[in-house]
Chain A
């Protein structure tokens, strides 16, 4: 199994997310994460999808997504030419005794503590997926009460492959 990150520019229509997620569901493709948000032009949404599968499946995913009429642009974000970031919020059980220790772990990862309660705290971490995974690994042994990961958002590096939104217009 390989992973690929796809960046899509799609029409911001109602139902566009259903069309995309429905395609993955009915064809049995694996979707690891999907994030979506509007671009500087509210007519378009940028979506980052992390998908997994063998080469044939990954090629089919790209082809089938390209066929969707709402999809205006699709490209692979290759690791060496792109940056990925994910946000994760981790609520950890932390009484007085453990608080210091957890905070120092968070510090190592340059993560922020954004909420503190007598018996828990919430860590906010941003980074690529492996950084988030590494933090979670360090927290093994602590009691994670709740975890919310956004899935990654990504962009290609540099200006070579920037899609001008005005060029997308019909």
Chain B
């Protein structure tokens, strides 16, 4: 058995059934070995999107996403995808081919120091020097990627190591890493403290982040919310933990969030931050947050606790485990009356503070608000919705109604072009679900080459492009902050999307008025087919 076959055997041990990637000489032995198995190979059109595909796949399947590309430019192209996954703590194992071991460091053709280059975006990386290390390294890599605070792990494998004969293949049964032991169970005394504090609070609130999805703790959180009568707000990555119209849910916090969600956060007397980083986009001045309230911060990564804000009660561990424990305390809530009042206050704020939108000429343009609201009502309730980056992302956060589906986006890194490849990965992870990718004309042109991948593998995704001829989010910034001096934001000569659809042999629909929009939605909402939808929106529309 050679190194490449050993790697594939490791992947089979890890129950990998799909690999996204791009070929090249330095990774050819590996794919040669993959070809002998039932593992599905998905050839994307540029390497960055292999990581995004694997990310979409990981987020929906709950498994580790795997991508494999060749050395040099193949590997460096992957970096943005790796960084995107790292920022959102998505578990990936990224395999890169490398030049012959003996030539490393001599700048030969297609050589790049990828472990060095990707260092700050990976949870860990390996450069394999000995073929016999393969089983241990892969076992560790999958373990590291999928436990604790999840994230991408990079494995760089020189071509000669892929070709070398391994002495004996034995896949380790378990991993013993002294230096890597993430805390799963929360400290029992701290859990008790949390329960006690929560019981005392009259105006408690929970802010849920992406960590809740990563831990698979949705059910536990929803139960906790109901049992204790506590309102919920979320970060962008926490959207979907609660259904959008759940009476306990009060929207997304932060600069781009709902003003009443921020007000709720500010006026609470107890804040439970759960699987959220307290990042700049969610909390503007973290130093002020603890002034008038008890802050409980629950996260699997101890380094996140105290990074941006010093909590009253820190609690490190896996959210699902912790909330299972918390839910076992079945004390009656004494303060149910106060809390009901608190929730009623928040409902009042919501009614008063809901944003007023400028009026859109609905004969000439589609209003993104009513479009997204109608679309999400017509979609199957468990649809997977992927928002790209830009105004479309902010609109989506606000108006897409999550029922029991998922909402995916590149929240941390804000990588444009994420939605199409992530949608491909999501659809491949759960082919029964309706998958919708929503983006602007800027992001679309960053990854439209993947329409070809969609067609090649028969991956049915509804691709919706909000076309406004601008990089709208930056234009909006220039409007507010730079006196409407529009530089580097006008997208002229965007290819005609009907021709693009024709070129990729896919269905095309267009809407430039409210009426057309409704027809378009009715046409796509329930159908499982590959379709490119152009939705013309007002170039001067604002997300804020």
Contacts and interface: CB of A to CB of B under 8 A. Distances in A.
Given A15-B116, A18-B116, A19-B119, A69 B179 contact: yes
A26 interface: yes
Given A66-B303, A170-B177, 20 more contacts: A14-B127, A15-B115, A18-B116, A19-B119, A56-B310, A59-B306, A60-B303, A60-B306, A60-B307, A64-B303, A67-B303, A69-B123, A69-B124, A69-B144, A69-B179, A69-B180, A70-B179, A72-B179, A169-B178, A170-B176
Contacts of B119: 15, 18-19, 22
Interface string B167-210: 00000000011111000000000000000000000000000000
B432 interface: no
Contacts of A71: 179
25 contacts: A11-B179, A14-B127, A15-B115, A15-B116, A18-B116, A19-B119, A22-B119, A59-B306, A60-B303, A60-B306, A60-B307, A63-B303, A63-B307, A66-B302, A66-B303, A67-B303, A69-B124, A69-B144, A69-B179, A69-B180, A71-B179, A169-B178, A170-B176, A170-B177, A170-B178
A168 interface: yes
B102 to A, nearest CB: 15
A18 to B, nearest CB: 7
Interchain residue pairs A-B with the least CB separation, the first 7: A63-B303, A26-B120, A170-B176, A69-B124, A170-B178, A72-B179, A69-B180
Nearest to B287: A56
A63 B302 contact: yes
Contacts of B307: 60, 63
Contacts of B302: 63, 66
Interface in B265-313: 301-303, 306-307, 310
A11 B180 CA distance: 13
Interface of A: 11, 14-15, 18-19, 22, 26, 56, 59-60, 63-64, 66-67, 69-72, 168-170
Determine chain A's interface SS by DSSP, over half rule. Answer: helix
Nearest to A14: B127
A66 B302 CA distance: 10
B310 A69 contact: no
Please tell me the size bucket of the interface on B: 10 to 19
A56 B119 CA distance: 24
Contacts of A18: 116, 119
The residue in A66, A72, A170 that gathers the most chain B C-beta atoms within 10 A of its C-beta is: A170
Contacts of A59: 306
A56 B115 contact: no
B37 to A, nearest CB: 29
A168 B178 contact: yes
Contacts of A69: 123-124, 144, 177, 179-180
Nearest to A70: B179
B179 A56 contact: no
Interface of B: 115-116, 119-120, 123-124, 127, 144, 176-180, 301-303, 306-307, 310
Nearest to A59: B306
Contacts of B176: 170
Nearest to B176: A170
Contacts of A22: 119-120
Contacts of B179: 11, 69-72
Contacts of B180: 69
A142 B176 CA distance: 57
Contacts of A15: 115-116, 119, 127
The residue in A11, A15, A22 that gathers the most chain B C-beta atoms within 10 A of its C-beta is: A15
Contacts of A63: 302-303, 306-307
Contacts of A14: 127
A70 B123 CA distance: 11
A3 to B, nearest CB: 20
Contacts of B144: 69
A11 B310 CA distance: 32
A64 to B, nearest CB: 5
A18 B310 CA distance: 30
A22 B124 CA distance: 13
A72 B178 CA distance: 7
A38 to B, nearest CB: 18
B333 to A, nearest CB: 35
Contacts of A67: 301, 303
Nearest to A65: B303
Contacts of B301: 67
A127 B147 CA distance: 45
A64 B180 CA distance: 13
A59 B302 CA distance: 11
A15 B154 CA distance: 14
Contacts of A11: 179
A135 B170 CA distance: 60
A69 B301 CA distance: 14
Nearest to A23: B120
B293 to A, nearest CB: 19
A8 to B, nearest CB: 11
Contacts of B303: 60, 63-64, 66-67
B209 to A, nearest CB: 19
Nearest to B175: A170
Nearest to B144: A69
Nearest to A10: B179
B476 to A, nearest CB: 29
A18 B122 CA distance: 14
A18 B113 CA distance: 13
A18 B306 CA distance: 26
Contacts of A72: 178-179
Contacts of A60: 303, 306-307
A61 B178 CA distance: 20
